[in-house]
Chains A and B, each alone.
Chain A
């Protein structure tokens, strides 16, 4: 029983994580992790500045179709 509950909880966490990734909900956390790992010295962007910048990059090319 406890094992089943554990399995269920793990699956749910997995689905939730996938959903957050797919929507870009965790984009900032992933960006912070990337900065910490690769560019530890540089100050990272704030959450708001990162969001604005991401949107600007996304919408300056063809990203929606007929």
Chain B
């Protein structure tokens, strides 16, 4: 009875909050409405939809022994309390994606992004994560690629592998670009981010040599070093002698990020990658909690309109109409295919009881979606004029501050040079114009939330704290992505020449790392020299590849559901798959065929080539034009490849389903046979 009453209350509060968001169209809306609506939607989805899927579609069986119990080795297969698995899984899936995507999509106004984050997560992303987690748990923790191979066939598995490799490359490039844009000509940000590297090395040595495995002590030491780095950065910023040592142009910083990525891929994990990850996890969880508290306490007004004129495709951050581009710009936070890799990696080996997948799979994704909502709030509480001045590239609004404010004000979003100057100096920066990539505007938003909650005098400190927070875990993802990409490349190269497949043979390690870093380094370099900021090309490409991966994951899930004879429930995964196939195909199609140079990649290349031939470009742009032209064509071909992989896997799934429905022979299910659990429920495993 109590549960029914609480569910009814949730539904009523949620309906009022969503009504509030929907009806207050011509007056500023308070962020609390959005926050309340989001929380109610997640809780209702969790309470009803997730429970229904677990019971009916997946037939979750609490009496069935999980691989953590059957294969318990005290190391990677360990039955773990579900609250802890939830924490691990959330820390693994929550990266910079849900912060950057919603910030960029705010150019359409707050409404399209908010709706897609809520609907996409509850009906798509959370469902995908939970189902893949359960399917992998039932298959001894096998990876998405292996499941695709086992259930669909070798070609489907190979397509999944190539798709994963491509997304790793694009992800690393775009994230590298985001931190380069954060650090360029900002000695405070640069010195702080640089200082986190020796901090990680010290923690790495501490955890290996001096106090092996004492993670809590090491992390505490690391957090203190990070705070020191933050304060030291502020001090350096005021030293005329030291300041120029950390003042770099974007291109030099890109070189630094590339060299760093290479080092991180070949050094032992305990030295750099693992300690950096401990620090980034602590910082991430702490900041997310702090942000939630601060938004509730300050309940800021949203200043961005619900829907802007840029839904027609003329947006300054990236070109393209609200359909389909809002759906690929916000991938993480709504549906993220990448999560399927984590949900079929470490997490299934820790699940004590099948019933835990609802909390771990569905719940973690709902929380990540909540982070995306907070990022959207932080971006839309800025004055729209300020938001566009920070995020729009110089190629769109003009290279000088005067030109930029004139262009932006002419769109109906007034902003002045003095206002931007005052904001920059309050944040401890020289300028905030044209810092595309989403991270700086998010940091300004976060700093103003934190400043209003905990004291305005420390704005510059909060801004750089937010920058450090973003940079640290972007670099953690960069390290981990490059390393995994290296292993995948070595696996592929091993088919060509066997010794190259040995993961510990140094020539092979160096070659595969260089190839991987070279690949994303190339896209990063092009993004840096692009006068439009580069993010406008790379982020949509990342979105398309991420949604392609989600398409693969949902295809595998649909195939398995139909193979297990549950055709009537197939819509649970088929509906999000159909939607993703529609938005990804239409976005990719526009990227390939559009004649508008702001959207179409080939059109942009042709347009630039024509201007170059006519001599209509200023000399500094003419110098880089040939590289940009080549790159835009390359991106166009890459988009075609991604689209082909997506449809190949979907058709492969359809083939398997048709065979099943016609009663033809199929590959047998790769599910591990039922074994009864001997654990006395999750409670017995609660705590040591």
Contacts and interface: CB of A to CB of B under 8 A. Distances in A.
Given A22-B87, A51-B208, A64 B74 contact: no
A18 B687 contact: yes
B212 A23 contact: no
Given A47-B213, A48-B208, A55-B269, A64 B76 contact: no
Contact of A66 (B207, B268, B338): B338
Nearest to A34: B74
Given A31-B74, A55-B269, A66 B332 contact: yes
A19 to B, nearest CB: 7
B277 interface: yes
A64 B481 contact: yes
Q: Which of B78, B87, B688 has the largest number of chain A CB atoms within 10 A?
A: B688
Secondary structure at the B interface, as helix, strand, loop or mixed, is helix
Contacts of B268: 52
A62 B92 CA distance: 9
Nearest to A52: B270
Interface residues of B, number: 58
Nearest to B216: A25
Contacts of A59: 269, 273-274, 480, 483
B213 A50 contact: yes
B277 A64 contact: yes
Contact of A34 (B72, B273, B546): B72
B485 to A, nearest CB: 10
B487 interface: yes
A26 B171 CA distance: 34
A14 B278 CA distance: 22
A65 B208 contact: no
A48 B212 contact: yes
B74 A30 contact: yes
Contacts of B87: 22
Contact of A24 (B95, B143, B215, B273): B215
A11 to B, nearest CB: 11
A50 B487 CA distance: 22
B341 interface: yes
A50 B76 CA distance: 12
Interface string A27-59: 110110111001000000001101111111111
A57 B77 CA distance: 11
Given A27-B213, A51-B208, A63 B342 contact: yes
A41 B451 CA distance: 59
A23 B215 contact: yes
A25 B212 CA distance: 10
A22 B282 CA distance: 11
Contacts of A56: 269
Contacts of A54: 75, 213
Contacts of A51: 207-208, 212-213, 270
Given A30-B688, A56-B269, A25 B215 contact: yes
A35 B72 CA distance: 11
Nearest to B144: A62
A7 interface: no
B380 interface: no
B624 interface: no
A42 B437 CA distance: 53
B336 interface: yes
B181 to A, nearest CB: 17
Nearest to B368: A65
Nearest to A15: B687
B526 to A, nearest CB: 20
A65 B687 contact: no
Contact of B336 (A25, A47, A66): A66
A26 to B, nearest CB: 7
A40 B21 CA distance: 62
A57 B274 contact: no
Given A38-B74, A51-B212, A66 B342 contact: no
B311 interface: no
Contacts of A53: 75
Nearest to B84: A22
Contacts of B97: 65-66
A23 B332 CA distance: 25
A60 interface: yes
Interface in B63-122: 72-76, 78, 80-81, 83-84, 87-88, 92-97
Nearest to B93: A65
A55 B270 CA distance: 6
A58 B480 CA distance: 10
A32 B98 CA distance: 39
A9 interface: no
B503 interface: yes
Contacts of B74: 30-31, 33-35, 38
Contacts of B487: 60
A19 B216 contact: yes
Interface string B675-688: 00000000000011
B32 to A, nearest CB: 28
Nearest to A57: B76
A10 to B, nearest CB: 11
B345 interface: yes
Nearest to A60: B487
A38 to B, nearest CB: 7
Given A31-B75, A55-B269, A55-B270, A62 B342 contact: yes
Contact of B274 (A19, A35, A55): A55
A34 B214 CA distance: 19
Nearest to A61: B345
20 contacts: A17-B687, A17-B688, A21-B688, A22-B84, A47-B212, A48-B209, A48-B213, A51-B213, A55-B270, A58-B274, A61-B345, A61-B346, A61-B484, A62-B345, A62-B480, A63-B342, A64-B480, A65-B97, A66-B95, A66-B171
Given A47-B213, A57-B76, 18 more contacts: A24-B215, A25-B215, A25-B216, A47-B212, A48-B213, A51-B208, A52-B270, A53-B75, A62-B143, A62-B338, A63-B92, A64-B277, A65-B92, A65-B97, A65-B336, A65-B338, A66-B95, A66-B331
Interface of A: 14, 17-28, 30-31, 33-35, 38, 47-48, 50-66
Closest 8 CB pairs of A and B: A34-B74, A66-B97, A64-B480, A51-B213, A62-B341, A48-B212, A59-B269, A66-B95
